[in-house]
C-alpha cells in the first residue's frame, strides 16, 4: 500500500477515535491470493484461486467483495469466483482486488503432449505401388484434448514412401500430414508418425495390381482316355508386375486342338491367385488347352487322348456292402468300371448283372459302359439276410470277372406307436395308422429301445396338455400322442406337432405329440397334414438345429437369409432330383420367409423351390398331390436313421416353374405347425438328463 493511502487511513481512524462515539469501520488493507503460483500442462485446465482480505487491524473480512482480472487472457482467464482457466502457452498474472487493496497470483502454461491421434487416412485400401487417395493426418493433443502447435514430428514407413509437402511441424490445430505411396508387396502395410514423445501407427491394405503374368499351376502333360476328363483339372496362377498373387482375375480356358471340350471355362482366381477349369475332356491324340488372362500372354496345357485297350479289370465303384429294406431296391445301385491294362476306362462294353444269392432281383441287368467306363445296374432289390450280385463281361483275360457285390436284407424294425388322447372315429384313426405305416416304410432300421417311467402329470405339463396315463414301458421306437381338439377355429393353425423327449445319443425322438384342429379336419386333406406333422415328431426340422445335429447353416433365427440343410445324404439326393442346376443360393434351401410370423422358418423345405413337396411350409391346393420325396428320406438318413430311398414318392425339381413368391396360387400356409415345447433328454437307461428349452 502506498504511504499516502496508509497515512490517510490512519488519520481517518485517529480522528474517529478522538470523537470517542463513532463505531469502528473495517477497510480492506491487504489481499492475499492462494496459491500464489499455478502451473498448467494443458489448455482448458482450470483451478480455483482463493483471496483472503484483511482490514486495517489485520482481521479477516469474510464478506469483502473481491474482483478478479488477468493481464494476459491469451494465456489464462479468470472468472468472478476466482476460477482460472488456461487458454494458451505462456505466463500471466491474476489480480484479486478488494476496495483499494490488491493481491496477485502468477500463472504459467506449458502444454505437455498426451496423445498423437490418427485424425484421418487410417485403414485405406489401394493398389501396390500407388499413392493412397487420402493424406495421413495426425493431431497432437494435451491431456485436455487441446491441440498442440509447433511441435516437430517424424514420419516413417518400412514399405513405400512418405512425402510431407505441408511440412513436419504441427499447425495451429495440432495437425500434421503426409502423403503415402504404398510399397510393392501386397497385404497389410504400416506407417508411423512420432512427435512430442507420442507415436501413432497408420495401416493400409495393399491389393495386388493388375495381372502381369500367368503360369501353369497344375494339370499339364496328362494322359486320359479319349472322351474322358483329364484326372487333374488344369489350373493357372496369376501375378502382378511385382509378383504378388492376384485374386479375382478373370481367366478364359479354351480348347486349342484335339477336339476336346471344357466345362467351367471362365473361372476367376481365388485368394491364392489360382483359377481352375471345371473339366477338360480330351479327344484322340494330342490335345492342347489355352488359358488367357487379359494383360498377359496365354499359357498352354498339353494332354494325350488315349484309345483304351482291351478290357483288363473290373472295379467296384459304388453300391457294395449295403443294407436295405427287404422287398425294396437298395439306396445306391451297384456300379462297376471296366479298365484296360493302363487303368484307362473302356467304353461300350456290355456288363451283365445277375443275382447270385439271396433270392433278390434286378432291373437293368445288361448295361453298357459309358465314356467313363462305368456301368450301373438299374436297381437291386434284396431279400432277408445275405444277398449277392454278380457283374461280368464276356471278354476273356479280365481279372475280377465276374465281380461280386454283397448286401444285407433287413426286415422293417422301426415302430411308431400312436396313442390317441381324444375320441376319434375309426376313419380318423386309420389316417394316423396309414401315416405311421408310410414313415415305417421309409425309416426301417431299429433305434435303441428306451425304458421310461414318466408320471402322467409330467406328460400333461410338458407334452400333451391333457390328462395322460403314466408311461411306464420300454419304448420301441417312438410313442406319439394324437389329439383332435379345438385350436383356433377354421383356418389358421391346422395342426401342431413335435417331439417331447429325445435320446441323449443321436437325439432321435422317443416321445412326441400331434394336435389337430377339429374345425379344420374336414376342410383340408387330413391325411397329408397328419403325415407332414408326423415327420416333425420323428425329427424333421425339430432336431436339425445347433443344439442338436447342426444340420442347418445360416438359420434365420441367427440373422441368416439363406438357411440351408448340409447333411451329405440330402445334398446328394437334391442333385438326384434335379438340384444340380440350382443357382439361387446354397444347397439344400430351407424355408426363410413368407409364412405368417415366420414360424415355419429353418424347419421346412423352401416352398419357393420345392413347391408341392410334402415337407414344405405350405399345404397344396385340394387335389394336388404332395409327394414325400427322396430328399426328405435322405434328410432322415442324415439324422441317423436307416432309411429306404425306394419308398419315396416320385418327385423332381423344375426351376423354370419356381414361384416368384412362396405360397402362391391356392397354397395354404401351415401356420406355426411346430410345437415349441421344452424337450426332455433321456439316456439309454431312460434317466432324465436335461430340458432343452424352445427358441
Q: Indicate which CATH number applies to the domain containing 595.
A: 3.90.132
d(CA 672, CA 659): 22
Q: Are residues 474 and 488 in the same domain?
A: yes
Q: Are residues 649 and 560 in the same domain?
A: yes
Q: Indicate which CATH number applies to the domain containing 276.
A: 2.60.40.10
Q: Is the pLDDT of residue 662 over 50?
A: no
pLDDT value, residue 61? 94
Mean pLDDT for all residues in the chain: 92
Distance of CA 494 to the CA centre of its chain: 33
Which of the four pLDDT bands, split at 50, 70 and 90, describes residue 658? low
Distance of CA 542 to the CA centre of its chain: 21
Out of 394, 410, 426, pick the residue that ends a domain.
Answer: 410
| Percentage, residues of the chain above pLDDT 70 | 94
Residue 282's contacts (CB-CB under 8 Å, 6 or more residues apart) are: 224, 226, 227, 228, 229, 230, 258, 260, 303, 304, 305
Mean pLDDT of 317-346: 97
Burial class from Cβ neighbours inside 10 Å (0-12, 13-18, 19+) for residue 89 reads: middle
Q: Are residues 218 and 276 in the same domain?
A: yes
Residue 534 grid coordinates: 408326423
pLDDT value, residue 609? 93
Q: 529 with 495: CB under 8 angstroms? A: yes
pLDDT value, residue 5? 40
Q: In the chain, how many H helices and how many E strands? A: 7, 48
* Range with the poorest average pLDDT among 146-160, 313-327, 479-493, 639-653: 479-493
Residue 582 grid coordinates: 440350382
Closest to 563 measured CA to CA, from 529, 533, 596, 598 = 598
d(CA 135, CA 121): 6
Q: Is the pLDDT of residue 545 over 60?
A: yes
Rounded to 10 deg, the angle between the 568-576 and 630-638 helix axes is 170
pLDDT value, residue 659? 46
Residue 37's contacts (CB-CB under 8 Å, 6 or more residues apart) are: 105, 106, 107, 108
Out of 257, 277, 306, pick the residue that ends a domain.
Answer: 306
pLDDT value, residue 67? 97
Q: Which domain holds residue 280?
A: 213-306
Q: What is the pLDDT of residues 566-606, one digit of tens each?
A: 999 999 999 999 999 898 999 999 999 865 556 789 999 99
Mean pLDDT of 153-181: 96
Out of 306, 327, 358, pick the residue that ends a domain.
Answer: 306
d(CA 480, CA 468): 12
pTM above 0.95, yes or no: no
Q: Half-sphere exposure (CA, 13 Å, Cβ side) for 22?
A: 11
Q: 317 with 284: CB under 8 angstroms? A: no
pLDDT value, residue 403? 96
d(CA 512, CA 483): 11
pLDDT value, residue 599? 72
Mean pLDDT of 87-94: 97
Residue 20 grid coordinates: 470517542
Q: Are residues 514 and 417 in the same domain?
A: yes
Burial class from Cβ neighbours inside 10 Å (0-12, 13-18, 19+) for residue 522 reads: exposed
d(CA 337, CA 354): 16
Q: Is the pLDDT of residue 460 over 80?
A: yes
φ, ψ for residue 233 (rounded to 5)?
Answer: -70, 130
Q: What is the pLDDT of residues 183-241, one digit of tens each?
A: 999 999 999 999 999 999 999 999 999 999 999 999 999 999 999 999 999 999 999 99
pLDDT value, residue 260? 96
Closest to 117 measured CA to CA, from 153, 158, 161 = 153
d(CA 423, CA 406): 49
pLDDT value, residue 297? 84
Q: Is the pLDDT of residue 8 over 60?
A: no
Q: Are residues 90 and 154 in the same domain?
A: no
d(CA 289, CA 259): 10
Q: Are residues 332 and 431 in the same domain?
A: no
pLDDT value, residue 21? 60
Q: Indicate which CATH number applies to the domain containing 446.
A: 3.10.170
Q: Are residues 158 and 130 in the same domain?
A: yes
Residue 236 grid coordinates: 493357372
pLDDT value, residue 14? 42
Q: Are residues 505 and 463 in the same domain?
A: yes
Return the residue matching grid coordinates 487493496: 101
Q: What is the pLDDT of residues 103-113, one digit of tens each?
A: 999 999 999 99
> How many structural domains does the chain have?
6
Q: What is the pLDDT of residues 17-32, one digit of tens each?
A: 444 567 899 999 999 9
Which of the four pLDDT bands, split at 50, 70 and 90, describes residue 428? very high
Q: Are residues 245 and 270 in the same domain?
A: yes
Q: What is the pLDDT of residues 267-290, one digit of tens each?
A: 999 999 999 999 999 999 999 999
Mean pLDDT of 539-562: 94
d(CA 543, CA 635): 11
Q: Is the pLDDT of residue 372 over 60?
A: yes
Mean pLDDT of 8-14: 40
Q: Are residues 659 and 579 in the same domain?
A: yes
pLDDT value, residue 524? 82
| Percentage, residues of the chain above pLDDT 90 | 85
Which of the four pLDDT bands, split at 50, 70 and 90, describes residue 489? confident
Q: Are residues 239 and 351 in the same domain?
A: no
Which of the four pLDDT bands, split at 50, 70 and 90, describes residue 421? very high
Q: Is the pLDDT of residue 16 over 50?
A: no
Q: Are residues 243 and 330 in the same domain?
A: no
Mean pLDDT of 524-549: 94
pLDDT value, residue 520? 81
Q: What is the DSSP letter of 556?
A: G
Which of the four pLDDT bands, split at 50, 70 and 90, describes residue 514? very high
Tally Cβ neighbours within 10 Å of residue 12: 13
Amino acid at each position: 500500500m502506498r504511504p499516502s493511502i496508509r497515512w490517510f487511513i490512519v488519520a481517518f481512524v485517529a480522528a474517529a477515535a478522538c470523537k470517542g462515539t463513532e463505531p469502528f469501520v473495517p477497510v480492506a488493507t491487504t489481499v492475499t491470493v492462494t496459491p500464489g503460483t499455478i502451473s498448467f500442462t494443458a489448455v482448458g485446465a482450470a483451478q480455483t484461486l482463493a483471496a483472503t482480505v484483511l482490514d486495517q487491524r489485520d482481521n479477516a473480512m469474510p464478506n469483502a467483495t473481491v474482483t478478479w482480472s488477468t493481464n494476459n487472457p491469451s494465456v489464462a482467464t479468470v472468472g468472478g469466483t476466482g476460477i482460472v482457466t488456461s487458454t494458451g502457452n505462456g505466463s500471466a498474472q491474476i489480480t484479486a482486488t478488494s476496495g483499494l487493496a490488491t493481491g496477485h497470483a502468477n500463472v504459467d502454461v506449458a502444454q505437455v503432449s498426451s496423445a498423437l491421434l490418427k485424425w484421418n487416412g487410417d485403414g485405406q485400401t489401394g493398389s501396390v505401388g500407388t499413392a493412397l487417395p487420402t493424406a495421413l493426418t495426425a493431431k497432437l493433443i494435451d491431456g485436455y484434448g487441446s491441440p498442440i502447435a509447433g511441435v516437430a514430428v517424424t514420419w516413417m514407413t518400412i514399405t513405400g514412401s512418405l512425402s510431407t509437402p505441408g511440412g513436419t511441424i504441427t499447425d495451429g490445430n495440432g495437425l500434421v500430414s503426409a502423403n503415402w505411396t504404398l510399397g510393392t508387396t501386397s497385404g497389410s502395410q504400416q506407417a508411423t508418425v512420432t512427435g512430442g514423445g507420442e507415436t501413432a501407427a497408420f495401416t493400409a491394405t495393399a491389393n495386388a495390381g493388375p495381372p502381369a503374368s500367368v503360369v501353369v499351376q497344375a494339370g499339364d502333360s496328362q494322359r486320359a482316355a479319349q472322351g474322358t476328363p483329364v484326372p487333374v483339372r488344369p489350373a493357372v496362377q496369376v501375378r502382378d508386375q511385382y509378383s504378388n498373387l492376384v485374386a479375382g482375375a478373370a481367366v478364359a480356358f479354351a480348347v486349342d486342338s484335339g477336339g476336346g471340350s471344357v466345362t467351367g471355362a471362365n473361372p476367376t482366381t481365388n485368394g491364392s491367385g489360382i483359377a481352375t477349369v471345371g473339366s477338360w475332356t480330351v479327344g484322340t491324340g494330342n490335345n492342347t488347352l489355352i488359358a488367357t488372362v487379359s494383360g498377359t500372354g496365354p499359357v498352354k496345357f498339353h494332354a494325350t487322348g488315349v484309345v483304351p485297350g482291351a478290357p483288363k479289370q473290373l472295379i467296384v465303384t459304388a453300391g457294395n456292402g449295403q443294407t436295405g429294406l427287404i422287398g425294396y431296391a437298395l439306396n445306391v445301385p451297384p456300379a462297376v468300371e471296366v479298365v484296360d491294362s493302363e487303368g484307362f476306362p473302356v467304353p461300350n462294353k456290355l456288363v451283365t448283372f445277375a443275382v447270385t444269392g439271396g433270392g433278390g432281383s434286378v432291373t437293368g441287368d445288361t448295361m453298357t459302359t459309358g465314356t467313363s467306363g462305368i456301368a450301373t445296374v438299374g436297381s437291386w432289390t434284396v431279400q432277408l439276410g445275405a444277398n449277392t450280385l454278380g457283374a461280368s463281361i464276356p471278354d476273356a483275360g479280365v481279372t475280377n470277372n465276374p465281380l461280386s457285390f454283397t448286401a444285407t436284407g433287413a426286415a422293417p424294425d422301426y415302430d411308431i406307436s400312436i396313442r390317441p388322447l381324444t375320441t376319434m372315429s375309426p376313419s380318423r384313426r386309420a389316417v394316423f395308422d396309414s401315416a405311421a405305416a408310410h414313415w415305417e416304410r421309409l425309416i426301417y432300421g431299429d433305434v435303441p429301445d428306451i425304458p421310461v417311467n414318466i408320471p402322467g402329470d409330467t406328460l400333461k405339463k410338458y407334452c400333451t396338455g391333457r390328462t395322460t396315463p403314466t408311461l411306464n414301458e420300454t419304448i420301441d421306437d417312438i410313442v406319439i400322442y394324437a389329439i383332435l381338439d379345438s385350436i383356433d377355429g377354421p383356418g389358421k393353425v391346422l395342426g401342431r406337432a413335435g417331439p417331447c423327449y429325445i435320446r441323449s445319443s443321436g437325439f432321435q425322438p422317443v416321445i412326441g405329440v400331434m394336435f389337430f384342429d377339429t374345425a379344420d379336419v374336414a376342410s383340408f386333406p387330413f391325411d397329408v397334414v397328419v403325415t407332414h406333422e408326423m415327420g416333425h415328431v420323428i425329427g424333421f426340422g425339430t432336431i436339425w438345429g445347433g443344439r442338436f445335429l447342426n444340420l442347418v447353416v445360416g438359420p434365420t433365427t441367427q440373422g441368416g437369409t439363406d438357411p440351408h440343410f448340409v447333411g451329405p445324404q440330402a445334398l446328394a439326393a437334391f442333385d438326384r432330383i434335379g438340384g444340380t442346376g440350382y443357382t439361387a443360393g446354397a444347397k439344400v434351401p430351407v424355408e426363410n420367409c413368407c409364412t405368417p410370423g415366420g414360424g415355419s422358418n429353418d424347419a421346412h423345405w423352401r416352398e419357393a423351390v420345392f413347391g408341392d413337396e410334402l415337407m414344405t411350409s405350405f399345404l397344396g391346393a385340394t387335389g394336388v398331390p404332395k409327394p414325400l420325396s427322396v430328399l426328405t428320406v435322405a434328410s432322415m438318413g442324415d439324422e441317423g436313421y436307416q432309411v429306404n430311398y425306394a419308398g419315396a414318392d416320385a418327385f423332381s425339381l423344375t426351376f423354370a416353374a419356381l414361384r416368384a413368391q412362396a405360397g402362391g396360387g391356392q397354397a395354404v400356409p401351415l401356420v406355426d405347425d411346430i410345437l415349441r415345447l421344452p424337450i426332455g433328454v433321456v439316456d439309454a437307461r431312460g434317466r432324465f438328463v436335461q430340458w432343452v428349452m424352445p427358441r
